Structure 1
Amino acid sequence: MITDTHRPLRDPAVNAVIARLAAAQQYRPDDPLAGRARDPHDYSKYGYSIAQEQGDLIYLLCRGIRATRTVEFATSVGMSTLYAAAAVRDNGGGTVIGSEIVPTKVTVARANLAEAGLADYAEIREGDARTTLRDLGGRVDFALIDGWLGAEPSLAREVIEIIAPQLRIGAYVMNDNAEPDFLAYVRDPANGFLAVTLPLHGGTELCVKVA
């Protein structure tokens, strides 16, 4: 088990919010995550967020590449946003652009960022990511794709196709849900990515844009 003293992100204020969110992770026992016919608005109180070890990796990657502009789909209650925003801040400044379709979660995510002292480093866009992420305002260094599961074409596949042209060479993309059509896209050499599956949280796909 990794203790807070051995985690790469060492800001006590940020870690306090992360610890609270991790402890409050709520999953409906009558609704397995594998379910596909769900409405995200029915889950406004549930933060299906990344695991802390995935957050550690986000922070390390973003620090390592000196990221100043990152993007995520979907923000949920802001767990992943905290890691990316802390990294951007610690790199000297920048912006995390998040997209979240559930208004209640947008409000909660913004409050969590404010509590952690990171509100100035994140822009949460409310709405459908296929619209909100079409213009990211410049080249992006890192992207997290961890949105709602659904039938193919998955939202992950649709979003990566929107984001990919806006990524700089050397940018990383992390995916949590391993949607088959997303994997097919990033593993096709014609699309300019290299990808590997990491043994984090049941399988985390890490990709780098090389062309």
Structure 2
Amino acid sequence: MSREIVTHGTGPSPIRDARVLDVITRMNASRRLPPREAFDGPVGKDPQAFADYGFSIHPDQGDLIYLLCRGLGAKRVVDFATSVGMSAIYFAAAIRDNGGGLVIGSEFVPAKVEVARRNLEDAGLADYADIRVGDARETLRNLGDPIDFALIDGWPVPEGPSLARQVIEIVAPQLRVGGYVMNDNAEPDFLDFIRDPANGFISITLPIKRGTELALKIA
């Protein structure tokens, strides 16, 4: 049965499930960001202080995640950080449409986990996601079987390596050869890791959002 193609990014979405698209459209319509000055000072580094805000991927990033996961036949993926569930919905839609599997999400703020789970339920995708509450450096340390795709976002830390760098070092050994990593924030030390040939990746920077790094594990 044919249906109208829905556009919510810069082009038509590859997703054809009206229920999923309705939730994505609602979430995009309700997007809001805190004022820039909210990030100043020590509170700006505390994710709990931003529990009322969903920092979500751009629709074009979501469509790319869905398309790549479908092409890979992805069954097991990592979603960090899950926030209110936007990226998890794209992942879970692809996993379901591939015949089943699991999205392993990680989110530090419990209130956001509750919202993410409700959004996944509304989209009819709750059975395909395990959203873990806590520090991703612990919740993603043991993923079980190899994974096919990982989204590495993150949150500013006061000092030392970025959270994205710390998490990719944990996740990379658990990613299968031929799997993808997408990074949202272009943290310099994450890029240093993913672009170092010794770590087994090749990557490109895509002109999506502020610059989206997409890496393929080749070794």
Partner of 1:9: 15
Paired residues for 1:180-191 under 5 Å: 180-191=188-199
Structure 2 residue 108 is the aligned partner of structure 1 residue 101: yes
**Match for residue 3 of structure 2?**
none
| Corresponding residue to 1:165 among 150, 166, 173 | 173
CA drift at 1:32: 6.8
Aligned-pair RMSD on alpha carbons? 1.7
2:134 aligned partner: 127
Q: Name the CA distance, whole Å, in 2 between partners of 1:78 and 1:70.
A: 14
Counterparts of 1:12-161 in structure 2, within 5 Å, are 12-31=18-37, 37-150=44-157, 151-161=159-169
List alignment gaps of at least 5 residues for structure 1: none
Q: Is the contact made by 2:113 and 2:131 (CA closer than 8 Å) also made in structure 1?
A: yes
Deviates more, 1:27-36 or 1:106-115: 27-36
Distance 1:192 1:31 in 2: 39
Q: Secondary structure at the match of 1:6?
A: coil
The answer (yes or no) to whether the contact 2:81–2:153 under 8 Å persists in 1 is yes
> 1:200 corresponds to which residue?
208
Moved more, 32-41 or 64-73: 32-41
Note if contact 2:39-2:45 (Cα within 8 Å) is conserved in structure 1.
no
- Structure 1 stretches (4+) deviating beyond 4 angstroms? 32-37
Q: Return the alpha-carbon distance in structure 2 between the equivalents of residues 99 and 30 of structure 1.
A: 25
SS in 2 for 1:31: helix
Q: How far apart in 2 are the matches of 1:91 and 1:209?
A: 21
Contact 1:152 1:181 (8 Å CA) reproduced: no
Q: Confirm or deny: 8 A CA contact 2:63 2:90 kept in the other structure.
A: yes
Q: CA separation of 1:35/1:91 partners in 2, compared to 1, >3 Å: closer, same or farther?
A: farther
Shift of 1:29: 2.0
Distance 1:20 1:118, change over 3 A: same
Tell me, what secondary structure is at the counterpart of 2:148?
A: strand
Q: Percent identity?
A: 63
Per-residue CA deviation, residues 128-175 of structure 1 (Å, 9 max, x unaligned), is 000000111110000000111234300000000000110000000000
Deviation at 1:33, TM superposition (A): 6.9
Count of aligned pairs: 210
In structure 1, distance between residues paired with 2:184 and 2:51: 20
Structure 2: distance between partners of 1:98 and 1:143: 10
Assess, with a 3 A threshold, how the Cα gap between structure 1 residues 15 and 31 changes in structure 2: closer, same or farther. Answer: farther
Counterparts of 2:47 and 2:105, CA distance in 1: 16
TM-score (norm 1): 0.95
